[in-house]
A and B are shown apart, each in its own frame.
Chain A
Amino acid sequence: MDYVKLINCMRCGMCLPVCPTYKETFLETASPRGRVALVRKVQEGDLDQSGRLLEYLSLCLDCQACASACPCGVNAGELVAEFSCERKESAGLGFMEDLILRKLVPHPDRLESSLVPMRVYQKSGLQKLVRTLGVLKMFPKPLERMEGLLPELPSRPLRQEIQEVTSAQGTERGTVGFFLGCVMSLIFSDASRATIQLLSYLGYKVITPRNQVCCGAPNMLGGDLEGLRQDARTNIDIFGGHTLDFIVTDCGGCGAELKKYGHHLDGDPAASAFSGKVRDISQILALHSDELKSRFRPLDLKVTYHDPCHIAHCQGIRKEPRDLLKLVPGLAYKEMAEADACCGSAGTYNIAKPEMSDRILKRKLDNIAASGCDVLVTSNPGCLLQLKKGLAEHLPGVRIMHLTEVLLRSINAA
């Protein structure tokens, strides 16, 4: 932990009005400024972990809205995440976090097989039965929440289905590697299919290496920095084996992590080169907006966009998704209030901190409702899961779509 980064916080409070947990509680301990102060006190030896320190810090979503708002360049979210990562590295994890963050998510094969029973569970009608009977109330709370979050699964993960090479349509303009996020592949495979198709339409040959591994973000959450570096090295090797113009992802979380490989493997030029090529899909599509515009057909939709934290705050991408949506003829775009505020998903936060997650989600849903949209667009699987569930329960009239699904639909519209 770099002490200077902590004392750079001059406590001006610019982060307070953007912090989702401060907005809910008004507590200084639940604010970015307060969290930096707490970590600093620990470093200075004035506080230890025996009290409520970790409880307070664990309320941070690491959405990094504070980093966007901080004029002096302090990233409170990242500092807390680093601090927590160091602690978890030494202290270990709770059962659920350990299962999800260390044993399952970083390993595509295990993760994919773990969902096979879920698929059977859904298809056999067992899910309906279980939900009707409320059997889940008998299980630990986190399990009930996880079950509730899971939408209907595609028949097979995209990673097992997609061809390694999708050729360009028309004149080939370049070659991109496609980084397939775990949750995108497992649950939102239609969206990733749309992403690949859009790239192919635009003349890109798309290479989707089947042996690619997790981006490493869950390792970081789980306090396994070495595991993260290992994932990074594997992915760098795999994608390094191809000549690529860009490495594209349609998962905000993966994109943010991949862009940090250069930082994680400090001094490794291959890592910096890899990170330098990573683009969110919206960044690539925005390069070809004239061409897309000529191919878009009218969609009669009222749309608003939710900024995933990992796209807006971690990657600084706000303009591209909106500009792309506004290119679609007939599509009425309406900006919602606090569009770049977290939805409460935040990795495993919605399972670990259900009460706060629900409060943050409620505020988001209120803003979505006030926008009057009938389609909510976003581009990160965590947000998709969280908001899909929230909309189904509270705003059934609003559908949720990944950015690329909307754009592809416009191209394919009659």
Chain B
Amino acid sequence: MEQSLIKDLQNIVGQQYTLTDRESLAVYGYDSTPELESLPGAVLLPGTAEEVSRIMRLCHAAGISVTPRGSGTNLSGGSLSVNRGVVVQTSRLNRLLEIDEENLTATMEPGLITSALHREVEARGLFYPPDPGSMNISTMGGNVAENSGGLRGLKYGVTADYVMGLETILADGELLRTGGKVVKDVAGYSLNPLLVSSEGTLGFFTGITVKLIPKPQGKITMLAHFPVLQDAALAVSAIIAAKVIPATLEFLDKVTIKCVEEYARVGLPLDVDAVLLIEVDGHPAVIAEEAAAVAEICTKHRCSFFQTAKDADEALKLAAARRTALSALARLKPTTILEDATVPRSCIAAMLKVIQDSARKHNVTIGTFGHAGDGNLHPTCLTDERDQDEIKRAHTAFAEIFDAAIAMGGTITGEHGVGIAKKKYLPKLVGESGIRVMRGIKQAFDPKGILNPGKVF
């Protein structure tokens, strides 16, 4: 990157927040995506929205790309700069600006950590449901850009269902305000949903307003052990068919159970094929009934043991243990390739079978866990980046899994985004017309293509 440009960037954010030394560039060349690495030309940590706008204006004029980054937990390579552009980290823009208890909204800057928002709103008896596995690390800006899901997606939906208003700095530095605190708004095109899940390719969020709901009064957390994997999958469909919508309905297979238990020591069974972690929340009388129904269905589907968390502490430990699943799987092998193919939830059992068959056929180890209740599984291949042959077989297996997901009416990514990692599968899913419309939208927002290039398509 040219010295004069670096100087100009320093003038905007300050020297201390302009990183260009090779060590800094090296560690901003990755996020949580395996196998991907690409060094930026500079890393900036702006402290105000105004600074973001000035960065954009400067880069727009100079034709330098801008890639937004939160905590760098992206799983599709979305926070990497592919052409030695500028990576802009939102960490310093991390203020929670307002909790509006009359309108049930919260407004914040993009660098706010998701679980920090949870803590603040829950202290006021309110609830922000989206809870991605990385919620203690991930930022709200990243959640919005990726439309993050989480463990409570089944009952409460995903980030997009809660975003009410956005302040977005466009490619040329102009500010775009969309939505706000109004519940109903049909003025013009709905731009919020377009910006949510845009993966940093349409604009840089500097302000986010989300919807809050009253915090559920009670919660029952349960764990069911299944000696046979398919029984667990069938139990998931049966629970939903019985018109019980748990807040959380998580699945962990044998490989995942072993790794999680080794780290978290919460008493998961090591001798079964699968467990379901189930949480129902709401009015105490209702959840008691729902928990009884869940227990009955699990028993009917041959669960060998059914446990109800005895207190909030135990419930918390079980949920926290589940959140470590992805990282814990890395105990077995150095490289973990995680996918998030998602299918209509009635197809969970069929999807699990496809995953197992593919793993066997291509001789790779795949551990599977995930949000079974919403059809979003995380088959995770445990491999070693130094074994190129195995890596190749893993990708072949995943290509098969994606094809199967699409054939079932599902999608190639439920919550991690397309980024760099799934670019080549997107046309298969959305077709030529899908890509054409998306390109048109990109053109309208960012004709010069400086915003997070090389992602999505």
Contacts and interface: CB of A to CB of B under 8 A. Distances in A.
A51 B28 CA distance: 16
A38 B21 CA distance: 13
B303 interface: no
A8 B30 CA distance: 15
A142 to B, nearest CB: 24
Contact of A71 (B45, B72, B137, B327): B327
28 contacts: A7-B334, A7-B335, A7-B386, A10-B34, A10-B334, A10-B335, A12-B73, A12-B134, A12-B327, A13-B71, A13-B137, A14-B324, A14-B327, A16-B137, A17-B113, A17-B136, A27-B19, A27-B24, A29-B23, A33-B27, A34-B27, A38-B23, A38-B27, A47-B22, A51-B23, A71-B324, A71-B328, A72-B329
Interface in A15-63: 16-17, 26-29, 31, 33-34, 37-38, 41, 46-47, 51-53, 56
B197 interface: no
Given A10-B32, A10-B34, A10-B327, A56 B45 contact: no
B331 interface: yes
Contacts of A72: 263, 327-331
B72 A28 contact: yes
Contacts of B329: 72
Contacts of B45: 26-27
B385 A7 contact: yes
Given A14-B324, A17-B136, A29 B72 contact: no
Given A37-B26, A37-B30, A47-B26, A10 B137 contact: no
A70 interface: yes
Interface in B291-343: 324, 326-331, 334-336
Contacts of B328: 71-72
Interface of A: 4, 7-8, 10-14, 16-17, 26-29, 31, 33-34, 37-38, 41, 46-47, 51-53, 56, 70-73
A10 B134 contact: no
Given A4-B334, A71-B330, A72-B327, A13 B26 contact: no
A8 B19 CA distance: 27
A70 B327 contact: yes
A26 B89 contact: yes
Given A11-B32, A47-B22, 9 more contacts: A10-B327, A11-B30, A13-B32, A13-B71, A14-B134, A16-B71, A37-B30, A38-B27, A51-B21
Contact of A28 (B24, B259, B385): B24
B358 interface: no
B31 interface: yes
Nearest to B260: A71
A12 B32 contact: yes
CB-CB nearest 5 A-B residue pairs? A26-B91, A72-B330, A71-B327, A71-B324, A71-B328
A70 B73 CA distance: 14
Nearest to A5: B334
Interface string B261-275: 001100000000000
Contact of B31 (A11, A14, A38, A70): A11
A17 B19 CA distance: 21
Contacts of A29: 19, 23-24, 27
Interface string B30-53: 111010000000000100000000
Given A10-B336, A12-B32, A53 B327 contact: no
A192 B26 CA distance: 47
A28 B134 contact: no
Interface string B424-451: 0000000000000000000000000000
Contacts of B113: 17
A9 to B, nearest CB: 8
Contacts of A46: 26
Contacts of B95: none
Contacts of B89: 26
B155 interface: no
A240 B46 CA distance: 59
Contacts of A38: 23, 26-27
Given A13-B32, A14-B137, A71-B263, A51 B22 contact: yes
Contacts of B72: 11, 13, 28
